[in-house]
Each structure stands twice: as C-alpha cells, then as structure tokens.
Amino acid sequence: MKRLILLLALIPTLINAQIFDNRGSSLFLLTRNTVQEYNPPTPVPVATLSITTTGTTFAPILTVEAGATILWTFSDASTSSSATPNKNFGSSATRVNSLRVTPASALIEVNFGYGAEDEGSDSIATLAQQNVSAVSGLSSATNLKGFYASGCPLTGQDFSDCDELLDIELYGCSSITSVTLAGATSLRRLCIENNAITGTLNLSTNLLLEDLRAASNQLDSITWGTGTFDSIWHICIRDNTTMDRNLPRLTKFPNIEQLWIWNSGQMGTLDCRGIDPTSLLAYDNAYTAANFQGCGLGSVNISGNNISSINVTSLSEVAGFDASDNSLNEAAVDGVLNALRSYAGGGYTLDLSGNVPPSATGLTYVDELEAGNWVVVVDATASTSWEDTFNRANGAPGNNWTAVSSATAEISTNRLHRTDAGGYRGYYNNTDVTLPANYSVTYTIPEETATYIAFFGVMARYSAGDAVTLFWSSSDREVFVACPYGYGATPYSVTVTGGFPASWAADQNHTIKLAFVGTTCTISFDGQEYGYFTSAVNNTTGTGVGCQGDGNGGTGHFYLDNVLVEY
C-alpha cells in the first residue's frame, strides 16, 4: 500500500478528508493538522447454503445461537427470517433456495428430516423428510454440529471441512450413493443406514467417531487410515453384500462394544484378541477360523460361516455363543464345550448344531453345561447299530459268529445255543471288526439261562484272548464279577449306583447292557443302571461281542436270545 504524505500547511482550507485506494477502500482519515490511518471493520462471516428441494412444501428446522440473523430466499424470491419457515410452493418442482445465517458460527443444526431411527437421539426434533435433493455450502457454517436429512432424496452429500460437525443423520435416503467426510474431524455419530452408497467409505480423518451405522448399503470397502479409533463403541456394517475387503485388525477399535458385521463379505480369520465386545454378530460371512482367546465376550453369533478352527480359551466372560452351521469337527466341538463348561450359564444358549456331533466325552461336557444353567444345542451323534435276533433257521449260527477254544453253537428255536460240553470257552461276533471307543452292547438272555446262570458270562471287545466280561460263577444271579477274559481273573472294582431292579429276581427274560465311554463301563440290568467300573482293556483294539463260560453239551441252558450293538 502506498502511503501518502500530505502537507496540511499547503492546504489551509482542508478540514476533514478521507483518501481511498483504487478499490474504494479507505486508507487514511485526514483532519486539521493530523493524518490518521483508517482500518475498516472486519466483515462478519456469513453461512451461505444452497438447498435444492422437489416438494410442494418446505418446512425445515434450524438451530441457531441467540442473536443470529436468518435470511431465507426461496426460488420465487420470497423471503423469511424464521428458524422454522413453512413455505408452500403450490406444486412439486425442482427449486433452488438459499439460506444465509449471520454470523456463520451461529448456525448449529439443520434439520431436513429426522425420525430418531437406529437409536438416534430423542433430543433432536422429529421431522418428516422435506424433499431435499441437494445441499451445498455446509463448510461455510463454521460451527455446524448436526446435519439431519433422513429419508430425503439426496444423491450425494459433501461434508468436507465441516470440522465441528458431530452428528450426521442420513437414514433411509434411498437415492444417495456417496458421502464425503474429509476433514470432518470432530464427527461422533454417522448414520447412513439403508441407503445405496457404493464404492469406498473413507473414514481416515474421522478418528473421534463413536457410532458408525452404515448397514444395508452397497459398499465395497471402508478406508480406516492408520490411526486408532479409541472412542468407537458401535460398528454396524451388516448386509453390505458387495464388500470385498475385511475389517482391519480389531485392536484398531480397542473399546468396541457392539460389532455388527453379519453378511458383509468378511473372510479368513476373525481375530478378536484384544477386544471385549458385549455383542458380536458376525454370522453369514465366509470366515474359516475364529480366535477369541482371552476375550471378555457378551453375546456372540458366528453361525453360517465356514469355520473349522476356533479358539475360545481363557475367556474372561461369555454370555451366549452361537457357532452353528460351520465346519467344526468333533475335536473342535468338544474343545468349545470343554472351554465354556466352567462359565456360569445364566440361561445363555450355546449352539453348536450344524457341525459334527460331539464325542461321548463332549456329551459329558454338555451335561455339565446344562447343569450350570446353559441351554446347549448340538447335533445328535449319528446312531450306528447292528442287531442279531437269531430269527433264522435252525443250524449253524452264521452271521459272523466265531468260536473261541473250539466252542460250538447252533441256532435253535430262534436262539443261539452253546452245544459243546467244554470248559471255559467263548463265542463271539466280529461284525464290527474294530469297535469304537464309545459303544454299548445289550444282551437278552432267556429265562432258562437266567435261572441256571452258573458259569455263564457276556463279553465285549473280545480280541486274542482278552475282553471285558461280566461273569456268574453260581446260580445266584445277584452275584457276579466284572473282570478281564479268563476264569479266575482279578475282578474290577464296581461302584454301585442304582443296584439291581426288582425285575431282576423274576423268572423271565432279562437284559444285560455294557455301555463304554473310554475306559469307563456302565452296567445296566433290565434297563436300570446298576453301577460302573473302569477297564484299560476298553482302550485296546477289539473285534467282537459275545458270550463265554462253560458249555452244556447240548442239554444245558446256555442261550442268547438277542444281541444289540450301538455306537
């Protein structure tokens, strides 16, 4: 700026004068005998918004600071100074309207439609959508905190450099395909659910975000940037079926409480180590593994994935777990049951259906969980069984029955009858070739055998001279031993739990059942549990089930009426 020095002495008649530059701005104020530099007042910033509407009426709601000046200029040149104008255009058409708020910092909220959807605040005035199709100039409102336009026919919205903006509500704007958030560094809540937003949602500058609701769009990915979202507690990106990029490592959201990401194209490993969500809904994705080691979990649903590997060890808490319809094998199912059985159920549900059924050991974990007030859902173990009723023609037994130590037998009136007169010998069936570790065999003995039961026994897992047997050495049917194969073998110690049923004393057909789970064998007579014992023999490879003891030369009462094997 050129400074001008005037010698007032040369202009004795000059009293007051102003000197302007070539743009009309005053530079100096001259009074008699003085020259004063003149600084014009700083212009007051004005928030200037352009709002395109398509409806017959327009009735938005503004929140402004006290003393603000509002000037609406509608498309027909009419004006309003109200924070709640109600303009009736008389017909539907696309119109461009303007809003000026002075000072710019006085405009706090603009509301073009709000219904408190998706757990929105009830402190915001509800308003039917106002048919707003475009808004520009938002960054000129330097103190704007809230923008609400739920349900409006917007096609895109730019929030660039709205650095004071806290809340965006764009729920159910079915035409909107993009939002730009660069520089909206104060943003706390972003609700853009049930829209048509495509491509990439860039949140890299929105590190103060607390609540993200972006479900039911057509997003391909989300750019999270390199920072940590320390304040975010809710992420909902469910039902973005076009998404082809996983969430970042979840420790990027250290305080996440609700992670709702079902049906959003997530794949690989769901690694939750380092977070403690109260609600994790990640079902209907393509995860193949999940790791919850050390987490504090609320309710978890990871059903409908393809998970074959899962780690739920060392949890600090858990309040419901659904891993149904995955690819967990028996060991994995048992592992989950085992890991969770130490947690109080509180009526919570553990659902592992749609995977391989648990083992017999896993079923004991189910019992423990249910006793601890869990509701447990697992697939039933596939039942495999075979049965010989001996209902066939008299003669050779056939049907895989095999002698031990030259014992002989025949089918006689639909029963298996020992015909040899030898001492301690056996007759067994090796249909199973190799029995599994967990199985049961039920023998039905007719009345004649029960009455003359001396030196009669039943055996399971017979192989090469070894077996697990029950043996009676006298006609007292309540006196027996559980022992390895061979007369005089050291018996096992039987723990009695239920004893003999009343029916056991009757002269009738009776059943004897041996049910094995690992090394434990449970004995039942006539359908009532008698007790149990343990036998290392049951962990060995065995081939058959049958009977053993002394023969009766064809005139005795050594019979079997039925044999049923189940596993």
Q: Per-residue pLDDT for 98 more than 50?
A: yes
Confidence band, pLDDT 50/70/90 cuts, at residue 11: very low
Report the pLDDT averaged over residues 54-74.
98
Smallest Cα–Cα separation from 216: which of 118, 114, 325, 324?
Answer: 118
Res. 7 pLDDT band, cuts 50 70 90 = very low
Using 50, 70 and 90 to split pLDDT, how confident is the model at 38? Answer: low
Question: What's the confidence (pLDDT) of residue 487?
Answer: 65
Q: What is the pLDDT of residue 485?
A: 81
Q: In the predicted model, what is the mean pLDDT of the chain?
A: 89
Q: How many CB atoms lie within 10 A of CB 130?
A: 21
**pLDDT beyond 60 at 27:** no
Percentage of the chain beyond pLDDT 70 is 90
Who wins on pLDDT, 454 or 48?
48
Residue 347 has pLDDT above 70, yes or no: yes
Q: How far apart are CA 282 and CA 268, in angstroms?
A: 12
What residues contact residue 293 under an 8 Å CB cut-off, 6+ apart?
A: 273, 311, 312, 313, 314, 315
Domains of the chain: 8-37 (no CATH), 267-380 (no CATH), 385-566 (2.60.120.200)
pLDDT digits (tens, 9 = 90+) for 484-512: 887 677 899 999 999 999 999 999 999 99
Instruction: Kindly report, residue by residue over 400-432, the tens digit of the pLDDT.
Output: 898 888 888 999 999 998 888 887 788 888 876
| Residue-level pLDDT at 14 | 45
At 225-237, the pLDDT tens digits run 999 999 999 999 9
**Rounded to two decimals, what is the model's pTM?**
0.69
User: For residue 285, which of 304, 272, 259 has the smallest C-alpha distance?
Assistant: 304
Mean pLDDT of 357-368: 90
pLDDT higher at 424 or 150: 150
* pLDDT tens sequence across 251-293: 999 999 999 999 999 999 999 999 999 999 999 999 999 999 9
Q: Is the pLDDT of residue 9 over 90?
A: no
Residue 8 is predicted with a pLDDT of 38
pLDDT of residue 76: 97
Six-digit token pair at 405? Answer: 């130590």
Contact indicator for 50, 73 with CB cutoff of 8 Å: no
pLDDT score of 540: 61
- CA pair distance 251, 230, nearest whole angstrom: 9
Among residues 521, 413, 403, 504, the alpha carbon closest in space to that of 468 is found at: 521
Report which of residues 3 and 525 the model is more confident about: 525
Neighbours of 40 (CB within 10 A): 8
Give the pLDDT confidence score for residue 406 in this predicted structure.
86
> Binning pLDDT at 50, 70 and 90, where does residue 12 land?
very low
